[in-house]
């Protein structure tokens, strides 16, 4: 049984890398989810140093030589979903129609409930969630609709949830996994591509 996404994303623009060498991968088994990004076991904090300045990551997916046009559309839908979720959870006044338009089924229900919960409890998302597209399955038919499973890795190193009045963090270090590997079903409906069911599991890191 698949579990729909119950994750929060970050402010404005997700950091996105579309890896051309990973197109056409088949989805694997997933995990479950918790307050932010899943119940997969937490990995110890990682500390890295570098003598070179960081290179800015692109804000849009890079064209893939191996992705078909439909796989690329599905990948872009996943990216847009996280981008929309970022905005809705970081702004208590943001409209939710765009979130409804890009989701379906239990994922839609769960995400709208999460938004309502955040606003009732005075929670606001801060920081940036990195979203890395690592692959996509071949298109298949389910219930007379085309479905593509997009493999994604999320990085919540710079993400947090704070009290909207005090600005104090609600989530403490170690309460959530930093990296999660996702299998996200993207469904082509009469209204366009929408995010459906998704599963996740803890990951050691996301691709560079």
Q: What is the pLDDT of residues 24-62, one digit of tens each?
A: 444 443 333 334 333 344 444 444 444 444 444 444 444
The mean pLDDT value of the chain amounts to: 77
**Rounded distance between C-alpha atoms, residue 182 and residue 195, angstroms:** 12
**What are the residue ranges in the chain where pLDDT is below 50?**
1-4, 6-63
Q: Are strands 15-18 and 140-142 parallel, antiparallel or unpaired?
A: unpaired
Query: Alpha carbon of 52 to those of 49, 57, 158: distances in Å?
Result: 9, 15, 20
- Residue 179 tokens read as 């990296």
Q: How far apart are the first and last CA of the chain?
A: 31
- Determine the pLDDT at residue 64: 60
- Determine the pLDDT at residue 207: 86
Model's pTM, two decimal places?
Answer: 0.71
DSSP label at residue 103? B
- Determine the pLDDT at residue 173: 74
């Amino acid at each position: 049984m698949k579990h729909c996404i119950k994750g929060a994303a970050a402010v404005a623009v997700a950091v996105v890398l579309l890896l051309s060498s990973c197109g056409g991968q088949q989805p694997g088994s997933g995990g479950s989810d918790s307050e932010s990004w899943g119940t997969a076991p937490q990995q110890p904090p990682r500390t890295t140093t570098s003598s070179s300045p960081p290179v800015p990551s692109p804000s849009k997916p890079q064209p893939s030589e191996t992705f078909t046009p439909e796989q690329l559309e599905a990948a872009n839908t996943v990216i847009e979903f996280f981008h929309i979720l970022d905005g809705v959870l970081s702004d208590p006044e943001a409209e939710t129609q765009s979130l409804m338009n890009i989701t379906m089924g239990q994922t839609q229900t769960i995400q709208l409930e999460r938004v309502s919960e955040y606003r009732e409890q005075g929670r606001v998302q801060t920081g940036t969630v990195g979203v890395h597209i690592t692959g996509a399955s071949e298109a298949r038919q389910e219930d007379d609709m085309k479905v593509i499973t997009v493999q994604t890795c999320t990085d919540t190193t710079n993400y947090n949830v704070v009290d909207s009045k005090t600005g104090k963090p609600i989530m403490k270090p170690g309460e959530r996994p930093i990296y999660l590997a996702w299998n996200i079903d993207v469904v082509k409906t009469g209204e366009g591509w929408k995010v459906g069911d998704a599963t996740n599991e803890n990951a050691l890191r996301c691709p560079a």
